[in-house]
Amino acid sequence: MSLWLRIVMNIALAGSILFLPWWFTVLLATVHIFMFQAYEIIVWGFVADTLYGTPIPAYYNIEFLFTLLFVVLIILAIPLKRSLIFY
């Protein structure tokens, strides 16, 4: 894939963090992870948690929930991409 598409996806992800609901950001980050080896998703998760993160009692007062979610998505996506036929 081209570098321009990766830059556009990063700009779209930054815009979705600022202006769109959280579920759209997670969906866009998942697409971005499967299109590229996008380790910068962790940085975007940290940015989202810095802007909007609050401790959630239901999740043991974890304040960096987006960062943790994106790390788990990357860990799961690496072996999954190897086993997919269409990838």
Tell me the domain boundaries of the chain.
Answer: 3-83
Q: Is the dihedral of CA 61, 52, 13, 58 positive or negative?
A: positive
The pTM for the full model equals: 0.83
**What's the confidence (pLDDT) of residue 85?**
72
b/e per residue, 56-69, with b = 16+ CB within 10 A? eeeeeeeebbbbeb
**What's the confidence (pLDDT) of residue 71?**
95
Q: Which residues of the chain have pLDDT under 50?
A: none
**What's the confidence (pLDDT) of residue 87?**
57
**What's the confidence (pLDDT) of residue 86?**
67
Contact predicate 7/30, CB 8 Å? no
